[in-house]
């Protein structure tokens, strides 16, 4: 059986191929061509290997059963191929910690996107915020018991949506950033006001 090869990769099995590769072993008859390689002596199934030569072309990892120019030998199985990363030119498998972190980051990104959609889909979201702000002002000024009863009824929900520990942590961080930005803003306002006064 002849084939056209790219190093050890079997590109096409054809009578017009330039390399005799023998026959596919009986137990590999149902194996996809993407897993089969010709090592110069016999057809090899990448799934049988514990070390695989890895090459990277155009951002894509290519697996080999033999050493080819630019390839690196990686201790891995064929099933590990989805864990391959290019770490500053060194090919390796992602650690379990990296996989777990990616999963956590993905879950967090999904949760953020869902929250943004929920907020964006509420046409009266800004109205609710303003209504709550005015209710707080009204209560501070009048001590109205009806508003106090309402606040008590939503207190648990507020605690769940905005846990106090997280509010304290994030507010402190954000205030530091905003403080610097506001300081720059007021300097710019004062300079603009001074310039306008001179004119």
| Threshold 0.85, pTM exceeds | no
For the chain, the domains span 2-94
* Contact present, 65 and 72 (Cβ < 8 Å): no
CB neighbours of residue 179 within 10 Å: 10
Name the strand (E) or helix (H) holding 66: none
Q: How many helices (H) and strands (E) does the chain have?
A: 4, 10
Count the alpha carbons within 13 Å of 47 in the hemisphere toward its beta carbon.
9
Per-residue pLDDT of the chain (199 residues; tens, 9 = 90+): 888 899 999 998 887 788 989 888 888 888 888 999 999 999 999 999 999 999 999 999 999 999 999 999 999 999 999 999 999 999 999 999 999 999 999 998 998 888 777 777 666 667 778 888 998 999 999 999 998 999 899 889 888 888 888 888 888 888 888 888 888 888 888 887 776 666 6
32 phi and psi, to 5 degrees?
-65, 150
């Amino acid at each position: 059986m002849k084939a056209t090869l790219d190093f050890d990769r079997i590109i096409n099995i054809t009578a017009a191929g330039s390399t005799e590769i023998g026959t596919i072993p009986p137990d590999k008859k149902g194996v996809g061509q993407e897993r089969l390689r010709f090592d110069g002596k016999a057809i090899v199934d990448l799934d049988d290997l514990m070390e695989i030569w890895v090459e990277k072309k155009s951002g894509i990892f290519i697996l080999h059963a033999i050493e080819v120019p630019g390839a690196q030998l990686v201790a891995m199985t064929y099933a590990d191929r989805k864990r391959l990363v290019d770490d500053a030119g060194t090919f390796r498998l992602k650690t379990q910690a990296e996989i777990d972190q990616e999963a956590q980051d993905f879950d967090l990104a999904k949760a953020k996107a869902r929250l943004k959609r929920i907020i964006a889909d509420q046409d009266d979201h800004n109205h609710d915020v303003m209504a709550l702000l005015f209710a707080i002002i009204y209560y501070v000024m009048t001590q109205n018991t009806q508003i106090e009863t309402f606040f008590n009824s939503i207190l648990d929900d507020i605690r769940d949506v905005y846990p106090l520990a997280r509010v304290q942590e994030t507010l402190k961080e954000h205030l530091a950033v905003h403080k610097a930005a506001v300081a720059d803003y007021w300097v710019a306002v004062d300079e603009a006001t001074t310039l306008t006064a001179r004119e």
